[in-house]
């Protein structure tokens, strides 16, 4: 018996991956891209919700409003006080709108790159 295949049915290292492996890799890549898009959309949505709640003069003592404000502050820590306007509404719109747009652009750009690969 001179069988050079170490274990029948298993792929050796010098053979290209079979069709099943590439389909699984593509599915995993799509799931990863969808996860990245979802996280970016949620982050931008929370920032947009905070802008809306602030502009509509929501009750700052409400638990939900406090949660959204705290989450928005955490997501937009890097962009706080980039714009210093006299109008408070415009300042909030710009300081929280910029990270929302950046999260969308970066998240969807990464997802598009993953889907293209």
What confidence tens digit (pLDDT) does each residue in 39-96 have?
999 999 999 999 999 999 999 999 999 999 999 999 999 988 888 888 888 999 999 9
Q: Which residue's structure tokens are 């996860």?
A: 35
Q: Which residue's structure tokens are 């590439």?
A: 22
User: From residue 31, how far is each of 27, 35, 37, 59 by CA, in Å?
Assistant: 6, 6, 10, 38
Least confident residue range of 2-11, 17-26, 87-96: 2-11
pLDDT, tens only, 83-110? 888 888 899 999 999 999 999 999 999 9
Q: What is the pTM of this model?
A: 0.76
Confidence at residue 16, expressed as pLDDT on a 0 to 100 scale: 56
């Amino acid at each position: 018996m001179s069988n050079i295949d170490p274990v029948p049915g298993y792929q050796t290292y010098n053979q290209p991956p079979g069709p099943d492996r590439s389909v699984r890799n593509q599915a995993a890549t799509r799931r990863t891209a969808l996860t990245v898009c979802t996280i970016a959309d949620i982050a931008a949505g929370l920032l947009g919700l905070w802008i809306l709640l602030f502009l509509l003069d929501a009750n700052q003592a409400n638990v939900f409003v406090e949660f959204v404000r705290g989450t928005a502050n955490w997501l937009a820590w890097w962009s706080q006080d980039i714009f210093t306007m006299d109008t408070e509404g415009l300042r909030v719109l710009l300081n929280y709108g910029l990270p929302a747009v950046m999260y969308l652009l970066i998240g969807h750009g990464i997802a598009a790159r993953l889907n293209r690969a």
